[in-house]
Structure formats: structure tokens, C-alpha cells
Amino acid sequence: MDIEILRQAGLTNNESLVYKALLELGPSLAGQISRRIGLHRRTVYDTTEMLIKKGLVGYIVKNNRRLFEASSPNVFLDIIKEKESQINSILPEMLTYYQKTKEKQETNFYKGKAGLKTVFEDQIETGEEILVLGASPLAYEILQFYFKWFDKKRKENKIKTKIIFTRTPEKMQIPLSEIKYLPQKYSSPLAVNIYGDKVAIILWSRENPIAIVIKNKEISDGYRKYFELMWRISSRK
């Protein structure tokens, strides 16, 4: 079992190790857990206390010693539902603030994979045709599984795309798309996505991908004309 998933669900590294050990061992003393995962016994006690507060671990006292036991993994679903409920309770207020400031923001910078996902989700939200100039196969490596979801949402929303590649990723099916190509010598990790009145300039770097999103109709119209020129001189193969 990959403890990275447990960390993404909100557990610390030590909490993930202890919970995984209890699932595998069954009811256990702190010393047994300590030997299993290589953490000091005091650390195991502190960690189990945190897991007990989260409802993920319980215990019984046997011979004046605590015997710890993992709660059902279904508890994670309850935790997620509770967090969702908490967010939903303040979501209207947050959206009010967001809408008030959204129109004032002309340029935004995004870093890392999570930041890039925000940019692509904005393209879905905009709901208009997406033009991609200099699409990089690196995108499908850096966000390996994300584009399956992105293309599914794009298809559901009937958002078409035109893409200019130097080469397409192997075995890649891109729905609602027209694709053309530039010679390989023009390949670059830099891509430009044009949608609505926005332009996203994306550097597909494995170490530190970044994106700059400019919201300006004149700039987006200018890039759109440049895209049309490149589209005319690009080839279908």
C-alpha cells in the first residue's frame, strides 16, 4: 500500500506509517509498531494519540497496556465528507470575494503541477475554443494522468481545440481537436494557450513548470491572429 496516498488524504508521514502498520499487524502494542516501522516508541505513542483524535485508531487496555487497533478505512470517506461540508458552508462567501477581485486581476503567475492544473481548469470554465501554439509532448509527461480528465471535461462541455504540435505524444487520442504540425527543429518546452480574452504562456519544465496568464482582449486577439498565421503555414502531417 502506497503511504503517499494516505499523506494526500491528510495524514502526516508518521501517521501514515503507523496506520499502515496497524492495518497489516492488527491489534498491536506500541513496541510492536515501533519495531515494524523503525520509529521511537515515544513517537509512536504521540502519533497514535493524533490518530485517535482523528478517529482512525482505537485501543483497549489489556494488562495495563494499550493495545492499538486501526479503525476501518471507511473512516477516510467520512473525513472527506466532513471537510467537503465545511468548505461548502463557507463557499458562497469565498466566491463573493473571488468574483469581486477576479475582474481586477490582469496577470497571474502559477507554479508547479497544481498551478498548471488551475490554468487548465480556467480554460474549461471559460468554455470557449482553445488554441494551442507550440504544444509540447512534455505536457503529457508532467501531468501524466490529468489530461484524460481535462479532455473528458472539455468534451462534456463541447469545447473544441486547435493544436499546433512539433510532434504528438504516442497513442494520444485528443477529442474535439484539429491538429497541425511544425518542423521538429522548432520544438520548444514553451507553449501558448489562447482562450476567451486570456493568453496562458506555459513553460513545460520537469523541475519547475510555470505559467503566466494574461487577461487582456487586445493581447488575446493579437495572439489569436498570430496563431491563425501559424495554422495556415503548418501541415497536417
Read off the pLDDT of residues 176-213 as tens digits, 9 standing for 90 and up: 999 999 888 888 899 999 999 999 999 999 889 999 99
pLDDT of 177: 94
User: Which residues make Cβ contacts (< 8 Å) with residue 227, sequence separation at least 6?
Assistant: 131, 133, 162, 164, 192, 194
Confidence of residue 166 (pLDDT cuts 50, 70, 90): confident
Instruction: Note whether 44 and 30 are within 8 A (CB).
Output: yes
- pLDDT digit string, tens, across residues 34-69: 999 999 999 999 999 999 999 999 999 988 899 999
Dihedral angle of Cα 27, 28, 34, 39, to the nearest 10 degrees = 30
- Cα gap 157→228, rounded to integer Å: 24
Classify the phi-psi angles of 79: left when phi > 0, otherwise alpha if psi is within -120 to 50, otherwise beta.
alpha
Domain range list for the chain: 3-75, 105-233
- Cα gap 8→2, rounded to integer Å: 11
Mean of the per-residue pLDDT values of the chain: 90
Which grid coordinates are listed for 67? 493495545
Asked whether the domain spanning 105-233 has the same topology as the one spanning 3-75, the reply is no
- For the ranges 74-78, 166-170, 175-179, which has the lowest average pLDDT? 166-170
pLDDT above 90 as % of the chain: 68
From the candidate CATH numbers 3.30.870.10, 3.30.450.40, 3.30.70.370, 3.40.1390.10, the one assigned to the domain spanning 105-233 = 3.30.870.10
- The architecture in CATH of the region 3-75 reads Orthogonal Bundle (1.10)
- 60 membership: H or E segment, kind and range: strand 57-62
Whether residue 172 has pLDDT greater than 80: no
Helix axes 13-25, 30-37, angle to 10 degrees: 110
